[in-house]
Amino acid sequence: MHSTHTRPARSPDQEADVQRLSILGSTGSIGAQTLDVVRLFPNRLDVRALTAGSNAELLIAQAREFSPACVVIGDARRRKQVEEALCPLGVRVLTGQEGLCEAAALDETDTVVAALVGFAGLESVLAALRAGKKVALANKETLVVAGRLVTSLLQDDQGMLLPVDSEHSAIFQCLAGEPERSVESLALTASGGPFRTRPAETFGTISKAEALAHPNWSMGAKITIDSATMMNKGLEVVEAHWLFDMPPERIAVLTHPQSIVHSLVVFEDGSVKAQLGLPDMGLPIQYALSYPERWAAPRERLDWSDVMHLHFEPPDRAKFPCLDLAYEALAAGGTAPAVLNAANEQAVALFLEEKIRFTDISDLIGEALGRIPAQADPSLEDLVACDAEARRAVLKHIPSIPV
């Protein structure tokens, strides 16, 4: 076996300009699109670590192409397969959360792309920040669960956080060069998902296939279901709160089915700035890596020669109760957003296993939030315990599943 990697020969000067990446969750939707950005900029970006949950075949193929120093395979049963393929190429093979944290804090890495899905991504983001890395954050659940822990690390001058989520990237781009105090409010745009116009009375019969068919974006299964329930936007409100230090009453949600306007900032003089583009995560991923520069890229452009209608409407909060559940959890603070997140992760997993109905997702999250009291100023250990408790609370409601 031999490596087919395409790392270009660089002079020492060029080498000094290269940004070295650990891509956590490289086999997922964001991870794979990050590798597309690396392919566009081989002289600027270099991959030092790649990680996968269980897709050993894709991880091996990625490692053969990009020659990282190490890879992490989450599923220990696949370790041998990965070792047999990659050890002869000089690639170190790690497993588990320890492996992820090691890949996140690698000496030879400058930037960590955090593209795991869910609570499983939290500890590696904390490890990256503690090691002083720049973190390009796709894993919004990290900020939902542990926003205070993450921002306190940043205040201690540990590491740097750049948004990858398209709405937050849009806001970040609108804020460039503006005095912080001049911001009046933020408006996150939402596509409204596949059920924006579907009558609420039929929500009980929504199938998994229908919920997985997002009109504008091709993404991992969990965030696609979150988009269908609009919990994705709820999680993004919490994410925006921590990223931009903005109270919830100054963060609005606006339904915009075309996904062209990626979000807006309202300034105190009444001016509104928005960032526009085609729905393509390649751009926000790239901006998190190129910031404060912009790198010329051959992406498809918006075509202004055709008639374009941009439609906006308020979200239907009765039809999509997850949105208000997220605002409530943010207002309650402490561990409440961690309960929201864990109950959602568990309920979405059950929906994807076709064990509960679509409408059960918000009901189960509401019950978990009502049952588990919020605890102020949680430590990481408190958050881990709270995550487990909320998952158990959801499972208890499903009679056929032993807890």
Choice between 46 and 226, CB closer to Mg ion: 226
* Alpha-carbon radius of gyration of the chain: 21
Identify which of residues 139 and 335 has a Cβ nearer to ligand NAD in the complex.
Answer: 139
Nearest to 92 by CA among 111, 73, 76, 116: 73
Distance between CA atoms of residues 56 and 50, nearest Å: 11
CB of residue 262 to ligand NAD, shortest distance in Å: 11
Please say which residue, 127 or 138, places its beta carbon nearer to ligand NAD: 138
Q: Which residue is nearest to ligand NAD (CB)?
A: 28
**In the complex, minimum distance from the CB of residue 62 to Mg ion, in angstroms, rounded to a whole number:** 24
Structure token pair of residue 269: 């003089």
Nearest approach, Cβ of residue 104 and ligand NAD (Å): 12
Residues that bind ligand NAD (CB under 6 A): 25, 27-31, 52-53, 55, 74, 115-117, 120, 138-141, 165, 217, 219-220, 222-223, 281
The entry of Mg ion, ligand NAD, none near residue 360 (CB within 5 to 8 angstroms by kind) is none
Compute the least distance from the CB of residue 263 to Mg ion, in Å: 9
DSSP H or E run through 166:
helix 166-175
- Decide: 66 and 50 in contact? Cβ < 8 Å: yes
Q: Which is nearer to Mg ion, 102 or 226 (CB)?
A: 226
Residue 159: name the closest of 137, 128, 190 by CA.
128
Q: Which is nearer to ligand NAD, 75 or 328 (CB)?
A: 75
Closest CA to 22 of 14, 34, 9: 34
Minimum distance from residue 385 beta carbon to Mg ion (Å): 29
> 217 is in the binding site of which of Mg ion, ligand NAD, none (Cβ under 5 to 8 A by kind)?
ligand NAD
* 216 beta partners: none
When CB distances to Mg ion are compared, the closest residue is 165
Shortest approach of ligand NAD to residue 307 CB, angstroms?
Answer: 28
CB 137 within 8 A of CB 162: yes
CB under 5 to 8 A by kind: which of Mg ion, ligand NAD, none does 56 bind?
Answer: none
CA dist., res. 53 & res. 24, Å (int): 10
Nearer to Mg ion, 95 or 166 (CB): 166
Give CA–CA dist 225/227, Å, rounded.
Answer: 5
Q: Which does 53 bind (CB under 5 to 8 A by kind): Mg ion, ligand NAD, none?
A: ligand NAD
Rounded to a whole number of angstroms, the minimum distance from the CB of residue 138 to ligand NAD is 3
Which residue's CB is nearer to ligand NAD, number 55 or number 158? Answer: 55
Closest separation in Å from C-beta 119 to ligand NAD: 9
Least Å from the CB of residue 197 to ligand NAD: 22
Q: Which does 263 bind (CB under 5 to 8 A by kind): Mg ion, ligand NAD, none?
A: none
Residues 215, 191 contacting (CB under 8 angstroms):
yes
**68 contact, one of ligand NAD, Mg ion, none, CB 5-8 Å limit per kind:** none
Strand, coil or helix: 20: strand
CA 108, 114, 116, 122 torsion: positive or negative?
positive
74 vs 257 by CB, closer to Mg ion: 257
Q: In a 3-state reduction of DSSP, which class is residue 11?
A: coil
Considering CB distances under 5 to 8 angstroms, the limit depending on partner class, which of ligand NAD, Mg ion, none binds residue 220? ligand NAD
- Determine the straight-line distance between the first and last CA of the chain, rounded to whole angstroms: 46
Residue 196's binding partner among ligand NAD, Mg ion, none (Cβ under 5 to 8 angstroms by kind) is none
Our CB check for ligand NAD shows the closer of 18 and 58 to be 58
DSSP characters over 101-153: HHHHT-TT-SEEEE---SGGGHHHHHHHHHTT-EEEE--HHHHHHHHHHHHHH
How far is it, in rounded angstroms, from Cα 375 to Cα 390? 13
